[in-house]
Amino acid sequence: KYILGIETSCDETAVAIVKNGREIISNVVASQIDSHKRFGGVVPEIASRHHVEQITVVLEEAFNEAKVTWDDIDAIAVTEGPGLVGALLIGVNAAKALAFAKNKPLIGVHHIAGHIYANRYQSEFKFPLLALIVSGGHTELVLMKEHGSYELIGETRDDAAGEAYDKVARMLGLPYPGGPHVDKLAAVGEESINFPRAWLEDDSFDFSFSGLKSSVINTIHNAEQRGEEIKKEDIAASFQASVVDVLTTKTRKAAQKYQVKQVIVAGGVAANQGLRKALDEKFADSGIPLLIPPLKLCTDNAAMIAAAGFISYERGLRAGWDLNANPSLILK
Ligand code: ATP
Ligand code: MG
Ligand code: FE
C-alpha cells in the first residue's frame, strides 16, 4: 500500500510517498526558514503564502523522486492539526482536492502522532511504549498501549522545550530557529553555571521551562551590569544541561513506572545532540530499547504523516469532505 503524506502545519511544505507505512519512497521538504529568519520567528501570513506557492512544486517533486504514479497511491494522509490555521488549511485543501479529483480515500493525521510515527522507520513498535515528545510547540510524555491510542501522562505547564531553546538562542543573538545553534555552542561550552531544574511535585511527569528561561535572562543581564563577560558557549552548555537533565530523568522514571517495552523520542528537539547522547546513557542499563529518529525525520516532514496515516488507513479510519484544519486538535 502506498500512502501520500502532506504536511503544512508550520513553516515546512512537505510531501512524501511511503510504502506500507515503513518504507520511504520519497520525502520532499521545502523549508521557509530563510523567509522567516529576519523576523526572528514564523510569520503566519508569510507561511501560508509560501505553502500556496510550494505545495504543487513539492508534490510534483515527490512523485518524480518516487517514480510512481497516481494509480499506485492508495490513500492521501494530511496533517489536520495542531498548527497555524492558515498554514494547515493549504495542506488540508490540497489533500481534499486531490482525493476528490483522483478518487482516493482521505485520512486526517494529528501532527504529533506524525512525530511519534517517525520512529517506526527504525523499528516496529512494541507496546506499551512511552513517547517523549519534544518539539517547537509540545513537550509531553505519552503512553501508548496500542497503535493510534495516546494517553497523556505529563506535559509542559508553560514553554515547550523547542520554544525555550529558540528564546535562549534569541537572547544569545543567534539566528532563528535557534535550537540547532544552541546545540552547537553547548558542545564546546562548559557547564559552569548551575541553572535551576524544574522537578515540580515528586510524582509529576509535567515539565516547566519558564523559570529556567528567566534564570538565563537574569544571568545575562547581571553579567552585563557588572561588566563581566560570560561565554555564550557556557550559557548554552549550562542551559542545555538543565533541559536534558529534567527530560531524561523524568522519561526514565515514567518508563519504569509504566513498565514500557520501548521508549521513543519525537519532535524537532529530538535532533539535539546533547539530548540524544544523554538519553542513550540514561537507558543503556535499563533494559528498555530506546528509539530516536534520524535527524531528517525529527523536524517536520511528510514521511512521518504518511507513517501515521498508514496506521489509520489499516484501522479503516477515513475522513469526510468536511475534514477541516483544527489549530488546537487534541491527541487522543
Ligand atoms: P510542533 O511539532 O510542536 O507543532 P514545530 O512543528 O514547530 O512544533 P518541530 O519542527 O517539531 O516543531 O521542531 C522545531 C523545533 O525544534 C524548534 O524549536 C527548533 O529550535 C528545535 N530544534 C531543532 N533542532 C534542534 C537541536 N539540534 N537542538 C535543540 N532544538 C532543536
Ligand atoms: Mg518548522
Ligand atoms: Fe512539528
CB contact at 8 A, 35 and 51? no
Residue nearest atom 7 in ligand 1 by C-alpha distance: 136
Signed CA dihedral, 146, 147, 152, 156: sign only: positive
Using the mean position of ligand 2's atoms as its centre, give its distance from the Cα of residue 142 in Å: 22
User: Does any ligand 1 atom lie closer than 6 A to the CB of residue 156?
Assistant: no
pLDDT, one tens digit per residue, over 271-294 is 999 999 999 999 999 999 999 999
Residue-level length of the chain: 332
Percent residues over pLDDT 90 in the chain:
97
Q: Is the C-beta atom of 272 inside 6 A of ligand 1?
A: yes
CB atoms closer than 10 angstroms to residue 244: 21
Instruction: Please state, in angstroms and rounded to a whole number, the distance separating the CA atoms of residues 189 and 135.
Output: 23
The predicted pLDDT at position 38 comes to 87
pLDDT for 78 equals 99
The CA 61 to ligand 2 mean position distance, Å, reads 20
HSE-CB at 12 with a 13 A cutoff on CA atoms is: 22
Half-sphere exposure of 145 (CA within 13 A, CB side): 5
- Ligand 3: centre distance to CA 111 (Å): 6
Ligand located closest to 298 CA: 1
pLDDT for 81 equals: 98
Q: What is the pLDDT of residues 136-168, one digit of tens each?
A: 999 999 999 999 999 999 999 999 999 999 999
Q: Which three cell numbers stand for residue 49?
A: 503564502
Ligand 3 centroid to residue 112 C-alpha, Å: 7
Under the banding of pLDDT at 50, 70 and 90, the label for residue 263 is very high
* pLDDT for the residue numbered 272: 98
Q: Is the pTM of this model over 0.90?
A: yes
Half-sphere exposure of 214 (CA within 13 A, CB side): 9
- Which bound ligand lies closest to the C-alpha atom of 12? 2
**Residue with C-alpha cell 489549530?**
327
Alpha carbon of 185 to ligand 2 centroid (Å): 21
> Residue 187 — pLDDT band, cuts 50, 70, 90?
very high
Residue matched to cell numbers 510515527: 117
pLDDT at 33: 87
Which residues are CB-contacts of 67 (< 8 A; sequence separation ≥ 6)? none
Mutation pick for ligand 1 pocket among 134, 243, 299, 331 (CB with most ligand atoms within 8 Å)? 299
**Which of 115, 116, 135 has most ligand 1 atoms within 8 Å of CB, for mutation?**
135
Atom of ligand 1 nearest to the CA of 267: 11
Residues in binding site for Fe cation? 111, 115, 300
Provide the 3-class DSSP secondary structure of residue 84: coil
- Mean of the per-residue pLDDT values for the chain? 97
**Residue 159 beta carbon below 6 angstroms from any ligand 1 atom:** no
Distance 230 CA to ligand 3 centre (A): 33
Pocket test for ligand 1, best of 29, 170, 213, 300 (most atoms within 8 A of CB): 300
- Residue 160 CA, closest ligand 1 atom number: 3
